[in-house]
Amino acid sequence: MELYEYARPGLMAGKKILYVHGFASSGQNGSVKTLRLLMPQAKVIAPDLPVEPSDAMELLRNKLASEKPDIIIGTSMGAMYTEMLYGVDRILVNPAFQLADTLLKNNGLGRQEYHNPRQDGETSFLVTKTLLEHFREVSSHCFERAAEDHDKVFGLYGIHDTLVHTFDLFSEHYPQAIRFDGEHYLNDNAILHSVMPVIQWIDDRQRNVQKPVLFISLSDRIINHSSGFAKSVATLAANYDVHIVASVPYNTPE
């Protein structure tokens, strides 16, 4: 099936989603385009963030005040910023809460190229020691008001992510930490099968919708013979509150 065939016109209809992109990206990235395709009646707001973290936070807080989004979705660096946009339902995908250290280890200092076109036309920027210290200062304020938003924040962590490892840190502050089959950078499959179900759950809760409960028992037959299992669950989740019942060996992390 083509991606557009998975579109959910009723999902987040008439609502606003603020998308906060990751490091060296922009509001014109592929994830934004996919979200707009899958939720055609929602307004997805995706600004280009300034490099300087204090400027980025100021821009985001202004967007929060002016647009009043119903959900905020942040990825990597953007997820770190999103954690501090309190009072709104939020989805943090592979949040880089220790961004300065992550950048120093994986990118280093010097000129970096943007991965996507930006509205200001810039194609590159400099990472300096001063910028890393500014990232450290801003990220030090994460979780300061976590207790106020205990049930508003979901953390999604790709099991193949080799860049960010903050699952345990997130879990110390929020109960809704979820692992998904994906890497650090989102792709269409991860959005469709991991991010969209969380958006659906939040949208249902905001609209006070209670769906019939459906239990699915996990078995060898399902795992070994149903290549469309994930797609089937995603389809059912649009109309049911789906619960997967797993016994040994499926309920062990090993």
Indicate left, alpha or beta for 68 from its phi (over 0: left) and psi (-120 to 50: alpha): left
Is the pLDDT confidence value at 5 over 80? yes
Is the pLDDT confidence value at 229 over 80? no
- Structure confidence at residue 250 as a pLDDT band (50, 70, 90): very low
pTM of structure: 0.88
Angle at 129 between CA 124 and CA 130, to 5 degrees: 90
- Which residues, including other chains, have CB under 8 Å from residue 235's CB and lie 6 or more apart? none
The domain 3-209: what is its CATH number?
A: 3.40.50.1820
pLDDT of residue 172: 97
Q: Strands 213-217 and 241-245: what pairing?
A: parallel
What torsion do the CA atoms of 105, 168, 34, 69 make, to the nearest 10 degrees? -110
DSSP H/E element including 153: strand 153-158
Q: List, for residues 174-185, the tens digit of each pLDDT value.
A: 999 999 999 999
pLDDT of residue 1: 66
Q: What is the mean pLDDT of residues 32-60?
A: 98
- Structure confidence at residue 51 as a pLDDT band (50, 70, 90): very high
- Domain spans, the chain: 3-209, 211-254
Tokens representing residue 214 in the block: 């459906």
Q: What is the mean pLDDT of residues 154-183?
A: 96
